Amino acid sequence: MELQFIGHSCFIVSHNNFKVIMDPFISGNPLTTLKVEDIKVDAVLLTHGHSDHTADALQIALQNQCPIIANFEICSYFGSKGATVFGMNIGGCNTFRWGKVKFTPAIHSSSLDTEQGPIYGGVAGGILLTMGDKTFYHVGDTALFSDMKLIGELHDIHAAAIPIGDVFTMGPEDALLAAQWIGAKTNIPVHYDTFPAIVQDAEAWVAAVNAKRLHGICMHPSDRYIVD
Ligand code: NI
Ligand code: MN
């Protein structure tokens, strides 16, 4: 499995000839120079409805004729806009030709902006994505919650993307506990530096993770990392 970090909470995850994009936020994301029209993927995965996670979901799904996989309410919305969708919900798991998706809980909100104002976006979640024999836990936007210990115990997690930005999600201290509780082999800080409110010292967080005898890496936008 290879992770390509796009900035904020967006990753392109690939294995063999398959690619999926998680939480596409490209147009309007100051951290990436990627062009939405260049993205070729087999699926679009969304942890929750907020524009810094869903901004380019519809365009990417339509241009690739690939499904959006998200909670039921987000799928209802994008389905009404012409996308192919596969609605799921927290705790649910499904196997696709390119891998397996399991939705995990998150403590956060979820809504979608429309011309008529914001609409209900179901419950915010995280995603355990397995491709080949590796599992990537995209924690999503969330507060620290103690069931992260259970998620870590029940799954063999090779890499975890953990928000450290504070204000809208966990900050660095809680995120350090999250890394310890999840126990992933590699920990990647996300959801920081995109906006002034969430500027953080990611290198310091990674150093704190490594000081706990865990493994952390700082990925800069467009960096690739082979999960092993
Ligand atoms: Ni959010
Ligand atoms: Mn967010």
pTM: 0.98
Per-residue pLDDT tens digits for 116-174: 999 999 999 999 999 999 999 999 999 999 999 999 999 999 999 999 999 999 999 99
Distance between Cα 1 and ligand 1 center (Å): 26
Give me ligand 1 centre to Cα 16, in Å.
Answer: 30
Beta strand pairing status for 125-131 and 99-105? antiparallel
Q: Tell me which residues have their CB within 5 A of the ion that is ligand 1.
A: 50, 141
Which domains are assigned to the chain? 2-226 (3.60.15.10)
Q: How far apart are the first and last CA of the chain?
A: 8
> From the CA of 52, how far away is ligand 2's center (Å)?
5
For 214-228, the pLDDT digits (tens) are 999 999 999 999 998
CA distance 40 to 64: 6
**CA 84 / ligand 2 centre spacing (Å):** 24
User: What's the 214 CA to ligand 1 centre distance in angstroms?
Assistant: 27
Q: What share of the chain is helix, strand, coil (3-state, %, to 5)?
A: 25, 30, 45
Which pairing describes strands 159-163 and 186-190: parallel, antiparallel, or unpaired? parallel
pLDDT single digits (tens) 1-21: 999 999 999 999 999 999 999
Res 207 pLDDT > 90: yes
- pLDDT tens digit string along 55-91? 999 999 999 999 999 999 999 999 999 999 999 999 9
Distance CA 130, CA 85 (A): 19
